[in-house]
Amino acid sequence: MNINTLAISLLMSAVLATGCAQQGGSASGGTIGAGGTGSSTGDSGYNNGSGYNNGGYNNYGAGNGQYNPADLKNPASILSQRVIYFDYDRSDIKPEYVNILNAHSSLLAAYPNLRVRLEGHADERGSREYNVALSERRGYSVLDYMQIKGARSTQMDVIGYGEEIPAAFGHNEAAWGKNRRVEIKYPGE
């Protein structure tokens, strides 16, 4: 019963995503089929392993089937991870987040009509205005990285929110660490 519900909701996500991809009349027709398969099994390319871990992300061809937008709602998929964190006053991407960005880059590469907002944030230290700029810089450092990994710059929009939308309140490193972040937001988020 539960599995059925999950399968249906995933299938619906896939249908929505399919509609999205078709709008632009892109060459990703093959991916739709692959995506449908992936979501109905409730599994993702990542957990299947083969595509992602053997360097498959050098092959962005549609129909690769590595990821599809339905995976965004699958907690088992790496695509459900949409937030990466930064060091104080830094905008360089830390190695532990490379896999997450690689996965989202692959998804965007396979679905050229999919768009994301890269929302940068900062902790409260430093002036509010400087933090808007710093957080935007973080967003662009994610954009630049994802572009190298196959996403198109036209698919990504960057907004720097500075320290204005904290994920956690508090004046300590525990809160600050959660606030120095870039959130990858897909349509409807």
Binding site for another protein (CB under 8 A): 91, 124-130, 132-134, 136-137, 139-140, 158-162, 164-171
Backbone angles phi, psi at 146, to 5 degrees: -70, -30
Q: Which is nearer to another protein, 116 or 158 (CB)?
A: 158
Cβ of residue 157: shortest distance to another protein, in angstroms? 9
Cβ of residue 153: shortest distance to another protein, in angstroms? 10
Phi-psi group of 55: left, alpha or beta (phi > 0 → left; psi -120 to 50 → alpha; rest → beta): left
Q: Which is nearer to another protein, 65 or 160 (CB)?
A: 160
Structure tokens at 116: 């994301």
Q: Which is nearer to another protein, 73 or 181 (CB)?
A: 181
Cβ of residue 117: shortest distance to another protein, in angstroms? 8
Cβ of residue 152: shortest distance to another protein, in angstroms? 15
Distance (Å) of CA 44 to CA 8, 57, 150: 16, 14, 19
Q: Which is nearer to another protein, 32 or 158 (CB)?
A: 158
Q: Which is nearer to another protein, 62 or 158 (CB)?
A: 158
Cβ of residue 81: shortest distance to another protein, in angstroms? 17
Cβ of residue 126: shortest distance to another protein, in angstroms? 7
The rounded distance, in Å, linking the Cα atoms of 147 and 151 is 5
Contact indicator for 160, 72 with CB cutoff of 8 Å: no
Q: Which is nearer to another protein, 10 or 142 (CB)?
A: 142
Beta-carbon neighbour count of residue 66 at 10 Å?
Answer: 26
How many CA atoms within 13 Å lie on the side-chain side of 96?
6
Distance (Å) of CA 105 to CA 3, 79, 101, 115, 174: 29, 10, 6, 11, 29
